[in-house]
Structures are given as structure tokens and as C-alpha cells.
């Protein structure tokens, strides 16, 4: 969790310093959610797909942090050699299928990944992450229906951080209990906490085990909160929330919650935690510097990988 | 090469069966393709063959390899993309290509870009096939020609075969291709017959046009059903002593400009014929390429015949007014001859 937090701070720095462009969405405040779930799957075997707030998922699945940061900076050393960017991180050999920019658009892909494992008689589970904003998309409902119709082992995980960009939950969803989206399709569904890592891990294990065993889809809505703007270009958060609200949410900062648990149970001293914090921050800085040393792509690479076997018509 | 006569519809079905038998990763998805046997009967018998006879179902009543779907084009294509990203080779039937408009986000914004955005980590061996263009009074929402929309998109391949043999050869190539392929049929072609090679490996590479009729005086350039319209026009021109060459483009993306340009270099006149709306259709792209590259060969401006720029009307009289026919081609030829 600490490394993700520091990595995200450095990715924000990359944006501020003009080393990253476009859109950049960080996971600060939501770390326990991805950590809790992605540590409970069979990494490299199970499939994971998410939307554009994707840095944490890649890091947790074992992607090289330097390649992640280099991709965010659009460099040749990036996971997609600078073709994807912050929103489009992929590490297929590690079971990470992105990294998608159209709200809700990737949800049928995730269900299709799960369909493929059922088609082949494998016992993989697919974690299909989406945001609360995507929970309103038509194609998401289509995906839920098809996943339930074919009984595919897919867990739809709504990361409910209470905002669809700058629009608060109650202004974008007619029913704010998004887990109920599973009900019309006969899908098991529940709302869970996403801030207390130990609880998140327990919930994740229980549900992943159930889906693997029963080969049916599941819908969970996980309550979380982003402490920072929607994207790096979100420069006026007063339009949709107050400082007090953010401060109050920070009382349940997932990292602070875990630190309190560790210290109050005498599992780790405050000094030790601070030392780890300093170490991970230094590591994130090293990642940043190393990524920044990666060269930009050569203009001649622009046509690479449009197709697997041919080049499009060349030239302007 | 020994051949057998069959319809376009049967050629499409037989190719799918051969590829499904040869490769367990190939499967079909679509609306009403299984128990209902397909709206145009292209998938007739496949639910029984792969579901019932093999007792192979993904859930009771839905065959694992001939997957009946809800009527949700974005969901269907998205599902297929996900399956394709891990190596399955789905063939999605669009009941009509007009409905693929609903799935444009999945096809254009997802399927076409995955190989690029992942820098080649993920391939999408997906075929989206189905009838495009007008049939018989299907009216405004069911008569679209979509191939030009898709041929605009880097990352897709687009083919539009005109004969049973081309359908067979190109569909096999499409199924074996590791990139997303749009395979446009035409409702008016399903019943036509032609000789088809029996060889189970017979295939036609993408990006190779076909000379459907040799000629010396002008080139008629078309794809899909319009090839037959051009052949009829060429027949009438022959009676007037004009030798028209008919180029069946068949593959829009990649486009075989070499064959097209060679024909124009020989005949010095060209008319491009397409069923899609004339304004901005793919024939305009072909005409532009000829104008750019063959200026010195041309004795006249490049002619174009396209569908009328109106939503397809229901009335048969008005519908026939919209779809290019041999007389429209002759009128265009008269302007440049």
C-alpha cells in the first residue's frame, strides 16, 4: 500500500513536471481495495481487467514499476512502449488485461475473459473492476446479464469512490446502492468496505473461493474514497466536494488504519513503520528516475503493432 | 482444383464448419444463430451438430460453440473480444451489419486498438460477419452498408466478397487472421451459386483484388453485390462495342491498389461503384487514390456511382431508386466515355 501511495505521488509529479501528459488518474485513498483483492487471487493465472485508474492493479500483479512509470511518461521502456499511457497499462503475461478508457466499455471484455476460461474448462477467476460511474452504463448491464446467463466465473467489482468524475453518487445513480445491479440477473451481490485492509482481504478470499468453486458470477460494490482529484487535470474539487468532507474521509485512510492496527497490537513499532515508509518512498523515487532515463520512442515506431502482420498505408 | 457448385450461404457455413472442426478455439456467437438456425439460415444445423449431437453446452440449452446471445450487440462483441484476447477465435454474426452500429464502440474503440495499445501483447482474432446493404424493403434502419465505416479504421481488416468462392477463401483467411476482421456479406448474395474449390485449405489472401472480367476500354471497380451490377453493365457495354474490365476489389482494408492501378493504366478510364451512400463512402477513397496515383494514365475524370444520399425508404419503387443498378453505371460511363 505504501509503495502504491508513493508511486502515485511520483506519477502526479511526472504530470506536474510535464513528463506525463493527457489524463492521469491516481489511486490515492483506494489502496486497500486493490491490495486486498489482488493478493487473494492466483496471480498470473486468474485474469484481471479494470478501467483507467489502473496503476495499482498493474503494480500489484507484479509488473515492473519502472515499466509502469515509463509508460505513464510515454517512454520506450514502458509496458506498451509508449503507445498506451497512464490509462492503458497492460501486462498480459501477468494476467493484467488493462487499462481501459471508455467508461463501462471494458466490462464485457472481462466477462468474455471469464467465458473463455469456462469454454476451456479451466478454473480461473476473472476480477472485473469498474468505477461507480460505469455502473450506469448500458453495456455494463448487458455484461451482467450475459455473465449470469452463461454462468461465467467473473467477479464484477464496483470501486465506489462516490464520484463519477465530478458528479456525486446521488446525482448520477437513481439507486445509490449499486450492488443491487446484480439482483435483476439473479447474481449474488453485496456492498463491502474497502478501507480496512484486513477485512477487505477476508471478503475477497471468501468471494473468490466461492466463484471458483461454483463457477458463477458475483457482483460486489466496495465503498472507498479518493483523496485526490478525479484526474491530474481536476483542478477545482470545490465544485463537487468540501475540504471538510475529504478531511473526514481521511480519518479512514487505509494506510493509517493498518498502521494503527499494527502498532496497537504490538505487531510493529511506529519507528519500524516510518523506516519502511522512507524506504518505499526512496524506492518510488528510484523508479521515477530510472523511468525518466528511458528514451522517448523513435518516430519510426509509430506504425509498429497497428496489426500483427502488416503496416497500414504510410504517410500523411 | 476440383470444385463443387454451391450457394454463397452454403460457402460461408461450410467454411465455418471446416474451421470449427479443424480448431477447437473457433466458435460462433450471435443472435438467433443456434436454436433458431440464423435469421438468414447461414448457421442452419450448427446447433444440432455442435450442441445436441456432441452434448456440448455452456449452460443447458445454449451450445458451447454456437452461442445464442441476447440482442445486445455491444455486449456480444465485447464478450467476443475478451475471449479473443486469450486466444479463442470467435466468429460473431451480426443479424445485419446495420446493428453493428450499436457495437461501434466495441469494434472501433476496443477491438481495433488493442494490439496497438498493448504494443502487441494481445491479439484479437475476431471475425464480425453478417449481411450489409439493402435487401428487400427492410427500410431505413436495416439497410446500411457499413464496410466503408470500418475500412476507415486502422487496426481492422475489411473484406466484402462477391462470389461463393471468394466468400469461402476470404472467410478462411479471416478466421485464421490474428487481427479483427469485418466480413461483409450482402442479403442479395446468399442465394447466388458458383463453383467453390473443395480443398479444405483453399483460402484467398487479403489485399488481392480479382479481375472479374477482362476488358480494355474502361475499368469498373466494385466490391460485394455491386460486382454483379458492374458485370451486367459490362455485358451491355459489350453490345455497344465497349470492352469494360470489372475489378472486384473484395478486400477494402488492406486495399490492393496495385491491381486497381494496373487496370486503370491499361484502360485509362475508371468508374467506382458502391452501394453505400455516395457521399463519403469507401468508393470515394478508391476514386481519390486513383486520382492521386494515376493522373497521367487517365483520359477522363474518375467516375463514381454510389447509393443515393437518403435514408433507405421502404417503398420498393423508392428503394430501387436508391440502390445503384446497371443503368446508373452506364450513365456514369457515358459521362466519361
pLDDT in the model for residue B1: 82
Residue A43 sits in a domain whose CATH number is: 3.40.50.970
**B61 interfacial to chain A (CB closer than 8 Å):** no
pLDDT in the model for residue A235: 83
Mean pLDDT of B261-279: 98
Task: Determine the Cα–Cα distance for residues A306 and A64; give it in Å rounded to an integer.
Answer: 24
* Residue A299, domain member (yes or no): no
**pLDDT higher than 90, residue B269:** yes
Q: Spot the catalytic one: B18, B19, B31, B73.
A: B73
* Residue A162, domain member (yes or no): yes
Give the one of A90, A93, A146 whose C-beta lies nearest to B75's C-beta: A146
Distance in Å, alpha carbon of A279 to nearest chain B alpha carbon: 31
Distance in Å, alpha carbon of B154 to nearest chain A alpha carbon: 7
Mean pLDDT of B314-321: 97
* Residue A306, domain member (yes or no): no
pLDDT in the model for residue B337: 81
Greater confidence, A235 or B222? B222
Q: Write down the mean pLDDT value for chain B.
A: 97
Dihedral angle sign, alpha carbons of residues B17, B21, B26, B27? positive
Task: List the one residue out of B34, B24, B23 whose CA is nearest residue B67.
Answer: B34
pLDDT in the model for residue A86: 97
Instruction: Give A264's contacts (C-beta < 8 A, 6+ positions apart).
Output: none
- Chain B, window 73-102: residues with a beta carbon less than 8 angstroms from a chain A beta carbon: 74-88
Mean pLDDT of A36-64: 98
pLDDT in the model for residue B88: 98
pLDDT in the model for residue B323: 98
Distance in Å, alpha carbon of B72 to nearest chain A alpha carbon: 7
What is the Cα Rg of chain B in Å?
A: 20
CA distances from B51 to A316, B84, B89 (A): 50, 21, 18
Structural domain span for residue A147:
2-292
Give the one of A108, A116, A150 whose C-beta lies nearest to B86's C-beta: A116
Residues of A in contact with B122 (CB under 8 A): 90, 92, 97
Tens digit of each residue's pLDDT (9 = 90 or more) over B223-266: 999 999 999 999 999 999 999 999 999 999 999 999 999 999 99
**pLDDT higher than 90, residue A234:** no
- Across the interface, whether the CB atoms of B119 and A81 are under 8 A apart is answered yes
Tens digit of each residue's pLDDT (9 = 90 or more) over B37-62: 999 999 999 999 999 999 999 999 99
* Residue A228, domain member (yes or no): yes
Task: Determine the Cα–Cα distance for residues A250 and B155; give it in Å rounded to an integer.
Answer: 44
pLDDT in the model for residue A161: 95
CB distance A38 to A57 below 8 Å: yes
Residues of A in contact with B111 (CB under 8 A): none
| Domain pair B3-197 / B210-336, same fold | yes
CB distance A59 to A1 below 8 Å: no
Q: What is the DSSP letter of A155?
A: E
**pLDDT higher than 90, residue A309:** yes
Residues of B in contact with A51 (CB under 8 A): none
Residues of A in contact with B106 (CB under 8 A): 105, 108, 139
pLDDT in the model for residue B299: 97
Binning pLDDT at 50, 70 and 90, where does residue A233 land?
Answer: confident
Does the ipTM surpass 0.85? yes
Mean pLDDT of A185-189: 98
* Residue A300, domain member (yes or no): no
Instruction: Give B4's contacts (C-beta < 8 A, 6+ positions apart).
Output: B195, B196, B198
Mean pLDDT of A131-145: 97
Mean pLDDT of B98-127: 98
Task: Determine the Cα–Cα distance for residues A105 and A49; give it in Å rounded to an integer.
Answer: 11
- Say yes or no: domain B3-197 is CATH 3.40.50.970: yes
pLDDT in the model for residue B78: 98
pLDDT in the model for residue B291: 97
Give the one of A81, A114, A142 whose C-beta lies nearest to B74's C-beta: A142
The verdict on whether B142 is a catalytic residue reads yes
Report the chain B residue with the minimal C-alpha distance to residue A147: B79
Task: Determine the Cα–Cα distance for residues B296 and B176; give it in Å rounded to an integer.
Answer: 39
- Region B210-336: CATH code: 3.40.50.920
Task: Determine the Cα–Cα distance for residues A80 and A162; give it in Å rounded to an integer.
Answer: 31
Mean pLDDT of A75-79: 98
Tens digit of each residue's pLDDT (9 = 90 or more) over B182-213: 999 999 999 999 999 999 999 999 999 999 99
Task: Give backbone dihedrals phi and psi of B292, rounded to 5 degrees, phi first.
Answer: -70, -45
pLDDT in the model for residue B250: 98
pLDDT in the model for residue A232: 83
**B205 interfacial to chain A (CB closer than 8 Å):** no
Distance in Å, alpha carbon of B106 to nearest chain A alpha carbon: 7
CB distance A293 to A234 below 8 Å: no
Residues of B in contact with A47 (CB under 8 A): 86
**pLDDT higher than 90, residue B306:** yes
Mutation choice for B interface testing from A102, A117, A141, A142 by most B CBs within 10 A: A142
pLDDT in the model for residue A260: 96
Q: Write down the mean pLDDT value for chain A.
A: 97
* Residue A212, domain member (yes or no): yes
Find residue B158's DSSP bridge partners. Answer: B182, B253
Binning pLDDT at 50, 70 and 90, where does residue B176 land?
Answer: very high
Percent of chain B with pLDDT over 70: 100
Percent of chain B with pLDDT over 90: 99
Task: Determine the Cα–Cα distance for residues A313 and A310; give it in Å rounded to an integer.
Answer: 10
Ramachandran region of residue B280, left (φ > 0), alpha (ψ -120 to 50) or beta?
left
* Residue A84, domain member (yes or no): yes
List the domain boundaries for chain B.
3-197, 210-336
Give the one of B67, B117, B155 whose C-beta lies nearest to A80's C-beta: B117
CB distance B115 to B179 below 8 Å: yes
- Across the interface, whether the CB atoms of B105 and A102 are under 8 A apart is answered yes
Mean pLDDT of A236-246: 92
**B251 interfacial to chain A (CB closer than 8 Å):** no
Amino acid at each position: 500500500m505504501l509503495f502504491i501511495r508513493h508511486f502515485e505521488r511520483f506519477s502526479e509529479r511526472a504530470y506536474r513536471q510535464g513528463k506525463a501528459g493527457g489524463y492521469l488518474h491516481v489511486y490515492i485513498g483506494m489502496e486497500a481495495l486493490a491490495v486486498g483483492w489482488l493478493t487473494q487471487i492466483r496471480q498470473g493465472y486468474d485474469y484481471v481487467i479494470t478501467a483507467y485508474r489502473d496503476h495499482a492493479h498493474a503494480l500489484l500483479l507484479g509488473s515492473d514499476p519502472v515499466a509502469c512509470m515509463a509508460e505513464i511518461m510515454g517512454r520506450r521502456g514502458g509496458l506498451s512502449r509508449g503507445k498506451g499511457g497512464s490509462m492503458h497499462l497492460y501486462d498480459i503475461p501477468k494476467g493484467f488485461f488493462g487499462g481501459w478508457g471508455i467508461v463501462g466499455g471494458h466490462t464485457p471484455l472481462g466477462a468474455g475473459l471469464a467465458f473463455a476460461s469456462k469454454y476451456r474448462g479451466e478454473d480461473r477467476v476473472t476480477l472485473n473492476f469498474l468505477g461507480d460511474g460505469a455502473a450506469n452504463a448500458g453495456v455494463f448491464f448487458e455484461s451482467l446479464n450475459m455473465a449470469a446467463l452463461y454462468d461465467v466465473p467473473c467477479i464484477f467489482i464496483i470501486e465506489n469512490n462516490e464520484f463519477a468524475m465530478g458528479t456525486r453518487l446521488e446525482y448520477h445513480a437513481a439507486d445509490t446502492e449499486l450492488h443491487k445491479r446484480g439482483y435483476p440477473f439473479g447474481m449474488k451481490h453485496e456492498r463491502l468496505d474497502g478501507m480496512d485492509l484486513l477485512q477487505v482481504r477476508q471478503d475477497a478470499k471468501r468471494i473468490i473461493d466461492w466463484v471458483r468453486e461454483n463457477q458463477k458470477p458475483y457482483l460486489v460494490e466496495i465503498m472507498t474514497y479518493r483523496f485526490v482529484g478525479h484526474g491530474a487535470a481536476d483542478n477545482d474539487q470545490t465544485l463537487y466536494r468540501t475540504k471538510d468532507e475529504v478531511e473526514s474521509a481521511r480519518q479512514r485512510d487505509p494506510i493509517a488504519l493498518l498502521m494503527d492496527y499494527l502498532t496497537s497490537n504490538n505487531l510493529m513499532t511506529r519507528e519500524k513503520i516510518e523506516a519502511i515508509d522512507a524506504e518505499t518512498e526512496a524506492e518510488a523515487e528510484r523508479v521515477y528516475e530510472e523511468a525518466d532515463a528511458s528514451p522517448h520512442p523513435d518516430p519510426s515506431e509509430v506504425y509498429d503493432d497497428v496489426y500483427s502482420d502488416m503496416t497500414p498505408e504510410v504517410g500523411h | 482444383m476440383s470444385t463443387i457448385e454451391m450457394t454463397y450461404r452454403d460457402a460461408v457455413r461450410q467454411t465455418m464448419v471446416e474451421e470449427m472442426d479443424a480448431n477447437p478455439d473457433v466458435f460462433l456467437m450471435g443472435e438467433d444463430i443456434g436454436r433458431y438456425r440464423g435469421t438468414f439460415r447461414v448457421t442452419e444445423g450448427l446447433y444440432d451438430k455442435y450442441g445436441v449431437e456432441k452434448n456440448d453446452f455452456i449452460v443447458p440449452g445454449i451450445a458451447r460453440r454456437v452461442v445464442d446471445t441476447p440482442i445486445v450487440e455491444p455486449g456480444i462483441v465485447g464478450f467476443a473480444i475478451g475471449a479473443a484476447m486469450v486466444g479463442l477465435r470467435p466468429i460473431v454474426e451480426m443479424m445485419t451489419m446495420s446493428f453493428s452500429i450499436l457495437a461501434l464502440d466495441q469494434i472501433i474503440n476496443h477491438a481495433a486498438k488493442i494490439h496497438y495499445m498493448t504494443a502487441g501483447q494481445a491479439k484479437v482474432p475476431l471475425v464480425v460477419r453478417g449481411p450489409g446493404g439493402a435487401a428487400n424493403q427492410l427500410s431505413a434502419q436495416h439497410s446500411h452498408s457499413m464496410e466503408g465505416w470500418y475500412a476507415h479504421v486502422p487496426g481492422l481488416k475489411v473484406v466484402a466478397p462477391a462470389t461463393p468462392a471468394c466468400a469461402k477463401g476470404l472467410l478462411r483467411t479471416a478466421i485464421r487472421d490474428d487481427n479483427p476482421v469485418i466480413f461483409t456479406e450482402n442479403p442479395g448474395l446468399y442465394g447466388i451459386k458458383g463453383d467453390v474449390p473443395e480443398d479444405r485449405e483453399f483460402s484467398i489472401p487479403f489485399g488481392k483484388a480479382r479481375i472479374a472480367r477482362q476488358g480494355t476500354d474502361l475499368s469498373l471497380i466494385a466490391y460485394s453485390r455491386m460486382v454483379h451490377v458492374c458485370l451486367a453493365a459490362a455485358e451491355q457495354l459489350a453490345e455497344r462495342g465497349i470492352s469494360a474490365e470489372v475489378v472486384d476489389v473484395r478486400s477494402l482494408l488492406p486495399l490492393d491498389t496495385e491491381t486497381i492501378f494496373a487496370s486503370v493504366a491499361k484502360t485509362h478510364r475508371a468508374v467506382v461503384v458502391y452501394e453505400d451512400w455516395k457521399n463519403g463512402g469507401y468508393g470515394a477513397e478508391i476514386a481519390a487514390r486513383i486520382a492521386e496515383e494515376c493522373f497521367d494514365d487517365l483520359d477522363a475524370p474518375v467516375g463514381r456511382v454510389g447509393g443515393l444520399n437518403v435514408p433507405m425508404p421502404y417503398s420498393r419503387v423508392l428503394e430501387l431508386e436508391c440502390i445503384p443498378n446497371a443503368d446508373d453505371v452506364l450513365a456514369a460511363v457515358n459521362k466519361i466515355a
